[in-house]
Structure 1
């Protein structure tokens, strides 16, 4: 795929734009149109930056020159589209073209309800016919909009529809604009504005004819469909919610809010970013926060499971309810795994017992360091990704809040968050630093071992200090009361303080280990506004000794006991008795190091 892309780009750059290039590229694009979805993806290889050279394909010009203004088209009772200077940027959106006609885009709506699970389809011009179906205006309404190259038969829309109807009795409307999405990317972006007019007209129609309340409408769009949802919200006052599933980057990132999805488009706008690499690195989603609440699973970039092609046959089996749905999902995974991860995360969240809890943080690195597991006094610093995001306590007050979480490879992606604090004791005459690998294995109530990955490389640990880690696991381990600790000493050639030779003891002096379920506390904070700090399960020596010396290569068990909860005070006493206390400053530093 990348080889073909490079060849096409090279042809564009090297062949004269006034002569052979226009006819050659027109022939290439025409031949690609006869191919299936992969052919459409190849059409998208005509990168926007080279778009001005393809005059034969899109004769209407660039509006950077005001003499080349596009006409503002109007569509009967839909309204007009005004292409202002906001839609132009020399790098991010160098070209604009007019949308296709209504007949060519041919928007269709398929209504799914519990009474009509097979769906009822009507054309956009006959949208009023939905009033005479099983549509019920007093129920919540979900409107799903697909993205570039897709139709409403794309697997993620079918699976999300089934999950919604199983979860709740509501109306689900799947929008099909494949007549406008299966075109060159530049043309598809223009067509989204017309689709936005169509869907906005549908909502207003159902409002006037059936009494639909706009605050009960939730529009969910993927890729180009996310920005289409923004155009819908721009035309519908009081729209309840928009969820953007990895909104498309090209022609939208860094542009005016008028051009893309933004918080003003609905009462609540939440966004899931899963493919934030640059388009030049074959990333299709934007990095820019564009909602009230923006989720960045795994920092919004690399997604677990997408790095290997072995996932493709597995996806064909696990996704969808039949062979064709599985094949469609596998094809999407092959060409855009990260980009299609966002709708999968949202669908999985509908029934997941795992909370998909995310936390506000300045950066993903601080999140990984366990510095952002607080929900704040009002609970607004944490939220659940997916369907339950609307319960976020900060949705009426904040804009552009970024939250991070970690997810796993599928088919179920949610991970539980745990905060682990390792308390090391100071020993008179002991080493000032020890370097090595620390491995923890939680013993579940059923007696099974579950490894917690603290770090992937050796770490320097200093006796007398505490170390906090944010770890994740697929299973709920919050009831665990025992843990195995394995220590392996490994000196660093670049840090002489970690050398331990001859009579030096490389044992790790562990006082206690605290283990807390971050998700449980976050949920309680959101629901009942209880105390902020996680309920620590403190584990120590089973006889309650002050410390355990773990020799290199040795594994020891720590257990939860009432004696362990006195461990911090004992550790403080040990520290003050073994270190010179010359001033109050030393005592305060000791308190900080022990989290007291």
Structure 2
């Protein structure tokens, strides 16, 4: 019988160990970034050497392994493989035309459907993936539905396989080759240059997009308009300096979506540091809702496949980045996908940063639609620093939810004091009206723990949008413990006495204060509807 460890980091290390074997033994570095990831035997650095890569008399790049490519935080550094082995393919998609492969060696704009004056999107995959993967095609299709544009899929699958350290090296060359392609296209774009070009990459593909940007700047004096990093890979990129990793200097606007930003040794695959003009941390950037199932359930969902089940178990947080981004491309009138600037996710969920401010400078649209708002309201102020934004998502598609700050005041009446505190959790259902029809949300949990008489509790929750708040339905769920005297209810029925509840809607900028009717307590498991007019009894 196979025994599974609950710590995803153990699985992650085991898989990387298997995938990175090259047939040669080697010492293991103490840095967590390279545990089980060092390949070869002794000398990983070819000092003072340079390798150049060319085809048909065109030199795409000359690379060395000196600092910063090799450093204390990146002791393993390799050259890219031969161009003939990893040569990427570029698949062009436009409206009304079949996908075509763009030939680098004989690029002729007139032989393609590419319109250089229309927006140009480049989308690329990460480690052990290819350009035909479903999420890339979904993003390409959605972009084309949203606007008349060019979508170029970068397929570097011939260089994305194990060992991981070699794939890391290969993206330097793929990024340089892609920059040369964009430079050729820029010859037809006039004054636009590449301001309308937007590179989108997941995991290793995010850093590949950074190499596109750096090469364009260094070789052609062109700065690409935008790069979106979808949970950029952490192993071999943590704590290193640009141009080794993607950075806000790689484009005029760089936005990052962090969804698996725990340290690698703890099971995380995404980089922790804020590296863009805007860094989004959905749900704090680590544990995403809906990714909390056990490994056995993932194997069951994968029809019993051990490999696919474990892969899904390990990558669920990581792939949420491109799932969230895909949803952000198409505006949803029912959900605004708003994010809030805050020093920490804990401060955000505790309600300390709630609100967008008078000029809404604290809020940004999430993902695809964030750039226009950023440049209009925040560009000059935040250009050289990172703007950190938080939001809470749902467990399943659609992930977009609206945020509500809830303030609960427990009654300090004599009845409340005599009964004493309770330990448990409140569940809220918001009620509203639209066009005369009633709407309500699914129940959403509030702060769990001990609630004492006179106590004030505040938190931010996320659920479906309900405009025109009219009432709030509450349910108290009592938690007992044989070893906690605070929770013993041998003679008294578990209940909680509330004075008032205030609910503020971030996206709709509404607020409602409700109270229990005639100061009636909430009994365990019995929902109670509260409305503003009941507050007259207090």
Is the shorter-chain TM-score for this pair beyond 0.5, marking a shared fold?
yes
1:213 Cα deviation after fit: 3.0
| Partner in structure 1 of residue 142 of structure 2 | 163
SS, match of residue 188 in structure 2: helix
Asked whether the 8 Å contact 1:478–1:516 carries over to 2, the reply is no
Q: Secondary structure in 2 aligned to 1:98?
A: coil
Match of 1:422 in 2: 408
Instruction: Tell whether 2:457 aligns with 1:467.
Output: yes
Which residues in structure 2 correspond to 1:20-39 (within 5 Å)? none
Post-superposition shift, 1:191? 1.1
Report the 3-state secondary structure (helix = DSSP H, G, I; strand = E; otherwise coil) of the residue aligned with 1:123.
coil
2:466 aligns with one of 477, 494, 506: 477
Residue of structure 1 equivalent to 2:246: 261
Q: Which runs of 5+ in 1 are unaligned?
A: 13-20, 27-45, 317-327, 521-533, 572-596
Tell me the residue number matched to 2:511. 536
Q: 1:294 to 1:74 in 2, by over 3 A?
A: same
Matched with 1:486 is: 475
Equivalent of 1:284, from 265, 269, 278? 269
Q: Which residue of 2 aligns with 1:294?
A: 279
1:89 aligns with 2:76: no
- Per-residue displacement from partner, 1:238-288 (whole Å, max 9, x unpaired)? 321110001011111100122101111111111011112332344221111
State the Cα distance separating 1:409 from its structure 2 match. Answer: 2.5
**Distance in 2 (alpha carbons) for counterparts of 1:7 and 1:496:** 46
Q: How many residues align?
A: 497
Q: Report the Cα offset of residue 538 of structure 1.
A: 2.4
User: Contact between 1:436 and 1:487, CA under 8 Å: does it hold in 2?
Assistant: no
Structure with the larger strand share: 2
- Measure the CA separation in 2 of the matches of 1:336 and 1:415: 23
SS at 1:375 equivalent: coil
Q: Distance in 1 between matches of 2:404 and 2:347?
A: 15
Asked if structure 2 preserves the Cα contact closer than 8 Å seen for 1:107 and 1:124, the reply is no
Asked whether the equivalents of residues 481 and 539 of structure 1 are also in contact (C-alpha less than 8 Å), the reply is no
Select 1:517's aligned residue among 499, 505, 514.
Answer: 505
Compare CA radii of gyration and give the structure with the larger one.
Answer: 1
Picking from 408, 411, 436, the partner of 2:394 is 408
Q: CA deviation at 1:368?
A: 1.7
After alignment, is 167-176 or 306-315 more displaced?
A: 306-315
Aligned in 2, Cα 1:507/1:47: closer, same or farther, shift over 3 Å?
closer
2:200 aligns with 220
Partner of 1:375: 356
Query: If each structure's helix is expressed as a fraction of its own residues, which one has the higher value?
Result: 1
Q: Confirm or deny: 8 A CA contact 2:45 2:65 kept in the other structure.
A: no
Listed one character per residue, the Cα deviations across residues 81-128 of structure 1 (whole Å, up to 9, x for unaligned) are 3544111223x3112111123222212211111121x311123323x2
Partner in structure 2 of residue 458 of structure 1: 449
Is 2:185 aligned against 1:206? yes
Alignment CA distance shift 1:8-1:260 (3 Å): closer
Equivalent pair of 1:70/1:98 in contact (CA under 8 Å): no
Residues 318-333 of structure 1: matches in 2 within 5 Å?
333=312
Which range moves more in the overlay, 270-279 or 392-401?
Answer: 392-401
The question of whether the paired residues in 1 share the 8 Å contact of 2:416 and 2:497 is answered with no
* Residue 580 (structure 1) aligns with: none
Deviation digits for residues 499-552 of structure 1, max 9, x if unmatched?
8898x99864433322222123xxxxxxxxxxxxx421222357xxxx623153
> Contact 1:430 / 1:505 at 8 angstroms: preserved in 2?
no
Counterpart-to-counterpart distance in 2, 1:265 and 1:109: 21
Look up the match of 2:29.
none
Instruction: Name the SS for the 1:343 alignment partner.
Output: helix
TM-score relative to the length of structure 2: 0.81
Check 1:179–1:306 CA distance in 2 against 1; reply closer, same or farther (3 A cut): same
2:87 — aligned with what?
106
Q: What whole-Å deviation, never above 9, does each CA across 1:278-319 have from its counterpart, x for those lacking one?
A: 323442211111111111122222222233354678799xxx
Tell me how far apart the structure 1 counterparts of residues 69 and 103 of structure 2 sit (CA, whole Å).
29
- What are the residue-to-residue correspondences of 1:113-128 with 2, within 5 Å? 113-116=94-97, 118-126=98-106, 128=107
Matched ranges for 1:180-191 at <5 A: 180-191=159-170
* TM-fit CA distance, 1:427: 2.7
Instruction: Give the corresponding residue for 2:381.
Output: 397
Distance across 2 between alignment mates of 1:222 and 1:540:
48
Cα distance in 1 between the residues matched to 2:22 and 2:478:
66
Alpha-carbon separation, structure 1, partners of 2:19 and 2:144: 49
Matched with 2:521 is: 550
C-alpha separation between the residues in 1 aligned to 2:246 and 2:63? 16
Return closer, same or farther for 1:69/1:282 CA change in 2, 3 Å cut-off: farther
Which residue is 2:423 aligned to? 436
2:45 aligned with 1:62: yes
Distance 2:16 2:194 in 1: 46
Helix, strand or coil at the partner of 2:77: coil
